């Protein structure tokens, strides 16, 4: 699965007595109703988020992991790949002297337009 959003928080790495390590981060989706979603990185993937800062736009690839512990059930979103989303540059618009965009020149190859409208 994958989801896009901007980085809201990046937490420090947690190391447990067993030697297991994980790192969590939160992204905010860019939907009509934005959601803050927490992901975790485990083992050798904890450094995947090092290159990013709050506000950076990302695409996060993840797996849903569910488990039971002492009669309680937990769901984790385990990220395994993170990609930066490059900001889309707006195409420059020439407003001409009237303040309106100019129409692009049409190629005149001498052929008649056969469109019905």
Residue 106 lies inside a defined structural domain of this protein: no
Counted residue by residue, the chain has a size of 117
Residue 104 located in a structural domain: no
pLDDT at 86: 79
Specify the pTM: 0.70
* Total domains in the fold of the chain: 1
Q: Output the domain CATH number for residue 29.
A: 2.40.50.140
Range of the domain at 45: 2-84
In a domain, 10, yes or no: yes
Q: Are 112 and 79 in contact (CB under 8 A)?
A: no
pLDDT per residue of the chain (117 residues) written in tens, 0 to 9: 999 999 999 999 999 999 999 999 999 999 999 999 999 999 999 999 999 999 999 999 999 999 999 999 999 999 999 999 977 555 555 555 555 555 555 555 555 656 565
Centre a 10 Å sphere on the Cβ of residue 48 and count the other Cβ atoms it contains: 16
Is residue 68 domain-resident? yes
Let me know if residue 103 belongs to a domain.
no
Coil, strand, or helix at residue 18? coil
Kindly state whether residue 97 falls inside one of the protein's structural domains.
no
């Amino acid at each position: 699965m994958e989801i896009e959003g901007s980085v809201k928080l990046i937490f420090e790495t947690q190391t447990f007595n067993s030697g297991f390590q994980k790192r969590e981060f939160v992204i905010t989706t860019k939907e009509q109703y934005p959601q803050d979603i927490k992901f975790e990185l485990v083992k050798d993937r904890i450094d995947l988020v090092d290159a990013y800062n709050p506000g950076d736009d990302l695409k996060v690839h993840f797996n849903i992991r569910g488990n039971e512990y002492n009669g309680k059930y937990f769901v984790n979103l385990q990220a395994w790949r993170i990609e930066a989303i490059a900001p889309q540059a707006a195409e420059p618009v020439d407003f001409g002297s009237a303040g309106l965009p100019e129409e692009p020149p049409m190629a005149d190859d001498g052929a008649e337009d056969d469109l019905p409208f």
